């Protein structure tokens, strides 16, 4: 942007501060040295209940740009930043932490990263401040951000909403307000949670190397850092619960995904920390001491790796804190596996997913029996695998999909043929049946390779989900069933159609067009009338001799 300013500035810099008068004053001084002209931006500082209010000191500074200082009772960074953004006058907001150092081109780089007409969230690169020695656990945090930046620069992985941090970020104020802003109930991970909602709303995520800042953290306590890591686990558990019903967000929000992104050697200990944190905590403390000792000996990479392990131990202990019990933690892990794509998991996790999906199918049978049977009986998985043919078929299907996920496609194809010969059903190994599907009888079921069936669906015998050409669109495909769709015996669904969730399709229906959610598709009732020939014979006169013989 060039030319004179009219009205509001181009940028509003937002800073939430708490008990850091020296560092926030230093940051304001560095903002006074920007290459961007002083009337192009404003700075809004919210003092979040510091022990000694910073307003008198900051307002006494001689600065070339407009500065506003707001003081509020301590409400956490999300509350403070939200208040500043609401008060901001510029269309573009730059959020920066009060312990950062910035160079003269900082604001100009953020402005340049938002071309006219774009809807972006721009993460500025965080770097280690060479003038401020950081403890090993703080260097661990920056190492994670370095990896994020390297992945984004090389194209190995795009920046996602869950990567968002508010130490150095810019975005359009309107986009922020449109998604509801920060969740004020969160004191940790509020930035990543906001990022996920912004990404879902269509905001592009990117990273700028030029809009860098130096991280000059004053955190010095390893014990406090370990407590904070544990609190992050609990906060992320809350976020996952918040978005549990949102398919677009839940996968990105579920913290159990991290268990399958770390070194496989660490996974048993991380899982132990979630299931029995009191037993795992001594291991975490010993590992922290070892990491610090390695750092003192100049073994920096080993020390950072040790902190990675300790953070994971503490994080998963926090997940257990949020879950409340070992059983609840296991259930959350199972729910994650149910929703995970097999390709995102390793071989062992894929086996675990197969078992979790079978459990979900059995739970769905139990719910169905409770709803539709006068005297429901809850059996064990083993008992129902023997008694219920439909459940047997679902177990065989899950094993078939496991073979496919493990790239053992010939075994998947053989399993498909075994299902055909044992049960008279043809289910393709590429067909996707979500965890929690119920097959009633299952005989004569035909499911195309392109069919997709949502959780809670009930499919009766002789149902066909077939591939076909749509009559008007001329597209080739197979049906997609939303959650909780019931398809009655003998129903045939053909082509690239979508059946909305909660819909019921009655026996014998032929469906070749999409159906909205919560609808009923029913066929014409059968006609019942007297048989004409039988009625005519009943009206005919009967010969008396024949009648006597018949009577005898």
Q: Out of 95-104, 139-148, 186-195, which region has the weakest mean confidence (pLDDT)?
A: 139-148
Helix (H, G, I), strand (E, B) or coil at 240: helix
Tell me the percentage of the chain whose pLDDT exceeds 70.
94
- Angle among Cα 397, 403, 404 to the nearest 5 degrees reads 90
Judged by average pLDDT, the poorest of 210-224, 226-240, 369-383, 384-398 is: 369-383
Structural element, H or E, at residue 317: helix 300-323
pLDDT exceeds cutoff 80 at 379: no
Q: Determine what percent of the chain falls in helix, strand and coil, rounding each to the nearest 5.
A: 45, 15, 35
Lowest pLDDT segment from 304-318, 409-423, 524-538 = 524-538
The region of weakest confidence among 18-27, 101-110, 165-174, 470-479 is: 470-479
- Measured CA to CA, the distance from residue 285 to residue 275 in angstroms comes to 17
pLDDT given at position 343: 82
Which pLDDT belongs to residue 548? 44
What is the CB neighbour count within 10 angstroms for residue 284? 23
* Cβ count within 10 A of residue 450: 18
Confidence (pLDDT) at 33: 95
CB 42 within 8 A of CB 13: yes
Q: What phi, psi does 17 have (nearest 5°)?
A: -130, 150
**Residue recorded with tokens 């590992």:** 287
Q: Is residue 551 scored above 50 in pLDDT?
A: no
Q: Where are the alpha helices (DSSP H) in 166-246?
A: 173-178, 190-200, 222-242
Q: Is the pLDDT of residue 215 over 50?
A: yes
The average confidence (pLDDT) of the chain is 89
**Do 394 and 413 meet the contact criterion of CB atoms below 8 Å apart?**
no
Residue ranges and CATH numbers for the domains of the chain are 1-218 (3.90.550.10), 221-340 (no CATH), 349-521 (2.160.10.10)
82 by DSSP, 3-state: which?
helix
User: Has residue 374 got a pLDDT over 70?
Assistant: no
Cβ contacts of residue 542 below 8 Å, gap of 6+?
none
| Contact between 434 and 454 (Cβ < 8 Å) | yes
**Which of 159-163, 499-503, 540-544: highest mean pLDDT?**
499-503
CA 248 to chain CA mean position, Å: 7
pLDDT at 264 over 70: yes
Kindly compute the dihedral angle of the four CA atoms of residues 22, 28, 32, 33, in this order, to the nearest 10 degrees. Answer: 60
CB-based contacts of 352: which residues, under 8 Å, 6+ apart?
Answer: 337
Cα distance between residue 94 and residue 117, in whole Å: 18
- Return d(Cα 59, Cα 96) in angstroms, integer: 19
Confidence of residue 248 (pLDDT cuts 50, 70, 90): low
């Amino acid at each position: 942007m060039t030319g004179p300013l009219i009205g509001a500035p181009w940028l509003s810099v937002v800073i939430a501060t708490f008990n850091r008068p020296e560092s926030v004053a230093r940051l304001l001084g560095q903002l006074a040295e920007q290459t961007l002209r002083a009337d192009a931006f404003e700075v809004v500082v919210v003092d979040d209940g510091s022990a000694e209010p910073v307003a008198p000191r900051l307002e006494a500074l001689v600065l070339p740009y407009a500065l506003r200082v707001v003081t509020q009772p301590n409400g956490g960074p999300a509350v403070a930043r939200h208040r500043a953004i609401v008060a901001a006058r510029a269309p573009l907001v730059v959020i920066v932490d009060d312990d950062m150092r910035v160079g003269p081109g900082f604001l100009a780089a953020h402005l340049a990263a938002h071309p006219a007409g774009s809807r972006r969230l721009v993460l500025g690169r965080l770097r280690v401040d060479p003038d401020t020695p950081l403890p090993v656990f703080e260097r661990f945090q920056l190492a994670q951000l370095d990896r994020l930046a390297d992945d984004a620069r090389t194209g190995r992985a795009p920046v996602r909403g869950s990567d968002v941090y508010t130490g150095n970020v810019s975005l359009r104020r309107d986009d922020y307000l449109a998604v509801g802003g920060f969740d004020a109930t969160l004191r940790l991970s509020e930035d990543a949670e906001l990022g996920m909602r912004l990404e879902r709303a269509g905001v592009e995520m990117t990273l700028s190397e030029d809009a860098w800042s130096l991280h000059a953290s004053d955190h010095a306590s390893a014990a406090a850092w370990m407590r904070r890591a544990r609190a992050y686990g609990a906060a992320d558990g809350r976020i996952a619960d918040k978005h549990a019903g949102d398919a677009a967000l839940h996968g990105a929000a579920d913290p159990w995904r991290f268990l399958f992104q770390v070194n496989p050697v660490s996974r048993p200990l991380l899982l132990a920390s979630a299931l029995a944190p009191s037993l795992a905590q001594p291991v975490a403390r010993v590992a922290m001491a070892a990491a610090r000792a390695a750092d003192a000996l100049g073994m920096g990479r080993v020390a950072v790796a040790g902190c990675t392990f300790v953070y994971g131990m503490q994080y998963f202990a926090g997940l257990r804190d949020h879950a409340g019990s070992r059983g609840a933690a296991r259930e959350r892990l199972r729910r994650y596996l149910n929703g995970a794509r097999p390709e995102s998991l390793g071989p062992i996790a894929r086996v675990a997913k197969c078992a979790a999906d079978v459990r979900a199918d059995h739970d769905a049978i139990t719910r169905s029996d409770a709803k539709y049977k006068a005297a429901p009986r809850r059996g064990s998985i083993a008992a129902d695998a023997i008694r219920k043919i439909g459940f047997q078929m679902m177990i065989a299907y899950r094993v078939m999909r496991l073979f496919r996920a493990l790239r053992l496609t010939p075994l998947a194809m053989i399993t498909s043929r075994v299902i055909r010969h044992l049960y008279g059903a043809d289910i393709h190994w590429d067909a996707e049946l979500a965890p929690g599907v119920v097959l009633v009888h299952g005989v004569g079921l035909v499911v195309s390779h392109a069919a997709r069936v949502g959780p809670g669906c009930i499919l009766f015998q002789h149902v066909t989900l077939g591939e076909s050409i749509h009559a008007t669109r001329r597209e080739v495909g197979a049906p997609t069933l939303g959650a909780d769709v019931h398809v009655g015996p003998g129903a045939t669904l053909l082509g690239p159609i979508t059946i909305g969730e909660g819909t019921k399709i009655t026996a014998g229906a032929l469906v070749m067009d999409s159906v909205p959610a919560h609808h009923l598709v029913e066929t014409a009732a059968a006609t019942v009338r007297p048989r004409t020939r039988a009625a005519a014979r009943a009206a005919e006169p009967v010969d008396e001799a024949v009648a006597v013989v018949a009577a005898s």
